[in-house]
Amino acid sequence: MLNGRSHRRTWLRSCLIAATYSLILTSKLSASVVRIDGRFEDWKDIRVCARDPEGDAKGAFDITHIYAASQGSILYLRFDTTNLLNIQNGPEAEGTLLVIINLPNNRELVLDMRGRRAFLDDGAKERIPWDRLKYIVGPTYAHNEFEIQIDLGRFGIDRGDAVSIQFGGSDQLDVPVKFTFSQPSEAPKRRSHRRYSGTDVRIVSFNTYYEGLSDPDREEAMGRLLNSVDGDVYCFQEEWKTEGHSEILKRLMPLGSKGRWHIHKIHGNVIASKYPLKALPSRSDRYAAVCINMRENHLFIINVHLKAMGYIGSDEDRLRIRQANDIIDIVGEIQRGRYSKAEPPYTKSGIVIVGDFNLVGSRVPLDVIIGKKVHGLTDWLIPNLVGESVVTWRGGSRASFSPGKLDYVVYSTKTLIPGNGFILDSGLLNRTELNQLGLNAADSEVSDHLVMTVDFQSSDLSED
């Protein structure tokens, strides 16, 4: 069984530790790096480097202010678009936005936002894969402001070098921005994968990419990945056709004499738990929900895979919103005590919602889930084990969409205390870290998504 916590002193101590850790992390982050997360909190000390009149655009992207920063050869850009839109997809009538970077030696790098490609304007215009540029843009959902990371090291750029930045397509500046790379490279922050003291449950979310658990060509790497994070509950997506997950996981992650994997599957969503679970009914095939008994309360886990593709206002986006409403309906039922009748409504049940939200249209699906204060839900921004990236989807060298954050964690703040949380990319680990986790450097290549791991401790705040 999972360990419940009943002593207020334990809970208060954990809260203080978590709050202190959060403040330390925030202060270090804002002082040292720009994290591409679509929240813009770490730009507060960076001044506007250019302004442009509103209303002068030929398309939907109407830029009025630009920020720029650097770290080593990495360029960070932040700019607004005035209108609420998706940066990588939308109606053709909206046009595109070009970011044009003039490099030394008369070279010009072009980033075509809606064309979803990068190329040198050298006649050939051969597409440069996003991963070669360490390119990230955020947020993936519709907004009126965006931030970009791009590494220009492959073009010989380093500290002390200068480039000019112009925009094209929908809008352009009267005068290009002159920018000098002034900040040194910094060693990336390296985090621990271990559970904090007092952790009650570790939940792992992983989109396995087209039946990854049953693919014999990926079996060994898949097994190493799943064992490395040592989860109590695993939430898998894209396991549509595969059956017999109890036997598959017994082979990939044998529990020995400890027991067996308890499975609940709805369409492509699989929840596998070391502990007995009770399956909840689902209103759609886009989520699976279970209840796990803890010593003093219940833990409800909802594994989500919302509709992919589209843009704000598209059919796909409207479908995602309907799917999110289905999820919040079951949250309401949980909190009214429908699935834990031994407890008074709105008391001690913990709720965790994880999975692939596919927020490539509007942000409304997430806001539907966390927006109502009565439910007490919030999302938790999870960083990589190495560095500050929050990217969970990377596509591949041929992908037109650039890497971004598609996977989310939402939890009930009154009943759960977050502990350790991390995204695992084996390609970023050093040899010591790989050995500690029992991984090979290429193991994360088994999927286009990265493994996301979150720890929680039970709170007794609801006993007030």
Q: Which of 181-195, 387-401, 419-433, 448-462 is predicted with the least confidence, judged by mean pLDDT?
A: 448-462
Residue 3 has what pLDDT? Answer: 53
Q: What is the largest CA-CA distance in the chain?
A: 73
Phi, psi for residue 152 in degrees, rounded to 5: -100, 15
What average pLDDT is seen over the chain?
Answer: 91
Residues 404 and 276 in one domain: yes
Mean pLDDT in residue range 14-33: 42
- For residue 341, name the pLDDT band (cuts at 50, 70, 90): low
Q: Which of 129, 155, 180 is the last residue of a domain?
A: 180
Residues 401 and 352 in one domain: yes
d(CA 274, CA 80) in angstroms, rounded, equals 47
Q: Would you say residue 428 lies in a domain?
A: yes
Residues 452 and 322 in one domain: yes
Residues 282 and 341 in one domain: yes
pLDDT at residue 25 is higher than 80: no
Q: Would you say residue 147 lies in a domain?
A: yes
pLDDT digits (tens, 9 = 90+) for 372-394: 888 999 999 999 999 999 999 99
Residue 123 has what pLDDT? Answer: 80
Phi, psi for residue 437 in degrees, rounded to 5: -95, -5
Mean pLDDT in residue range 351-376: 96
**Claim: this prediction has a pTM higher than 0.85:** yes
Residues 63 and 129 in one domain: yes
d(CA 191, CA 119) in angstroms, rounded, equals 35
Q: Which of 127, 154, 180 is the last residue of a domain?
A: 180
Residues 435 and 313 in one domain: yes
Q: Would you say residue 242 lies in a domain?
A: yes
Domain that holds residue 412: 8-31+190-463
Q: Would you say residue 3 lies in a domain?
A: no
pLDDT digits (tens, 9 = 90+) for 228-246: 999 999 999 999 999 999 9
Residue 181 has what pLDDT? Answer: 97
Residues 157 and 286 in one domain: no
Measured in whole angstroms, the distance separating CA 410 from the mean position of its chain's CA atoms is 11
* Full 3-state SS string of 385-404: CECCCCCCECCCCCCCCCCE
pLDDT at residue 188 is higher than 90: yes
Q: Would you say residue 1 lies in a domain?
A: no
pLDDT at residue 9 is higher than 50: no
For residue 139, say if its preceding peptide bond is cis, omega within 30 degrees of 0. yes
- For residue 278, name the pLDDT band (cuts at 50, 70, 90): very high
Q: Would you say residue 362 lies in a domain?
A: yes
Residues 13 and 107 in one domain: no
Residue 84 has what pLDDT? Answer: 99
CATH number, domain with residue 81: 2.60.40.1190
pLDDT digits (tens, 9 = 90+) for 116-136: 999 998 888 899 999 999 999
CATH number, domain with residue 267: 3.60.10.10
Q: Which of 26-35, 184-193, 281-290, 305-314 is predicted with the least confidence, judged by mean pLDDT?
A: 26-35
Residues 220 and 84 in one domain: no
Residues 112 and 236 in one domain: no
Residue 120 has what pLDDT? Answer: 96
Q: Which of 138, 153, 180 is the last residue of a domain?
A: 180
Nearest CA to 85 among 77, 93, 73, 76?
A: 93
* Number of domain units in the chain: 2
Residues 306 and 409 in one domain: yes
Q: Would you say residue 42 lies in a domain?
A: yes
Residues 421 and 296 in one domain: yes
Residue 122 has what pLDDT? Answer: 84
Q: Would you say residue 185 lies in a domain?
A: no
Burial class of residue 361 in the structure, from the number of CB atoms within 10 Å of its CB (0-12 exposed, 13-18 middle, 19+ buried): buried
Looking at per-residue pLDDT, the higher value among 83 and 30 belongs to 83
Q: Which of 111-120, 301-310, 454-463 is predicted with the least confidence, judged by mean pLDDT?
A: 454-463
Chain position carrying tokens 């070669």: 132
Residue 342 has what pLDDT? Answer: 59
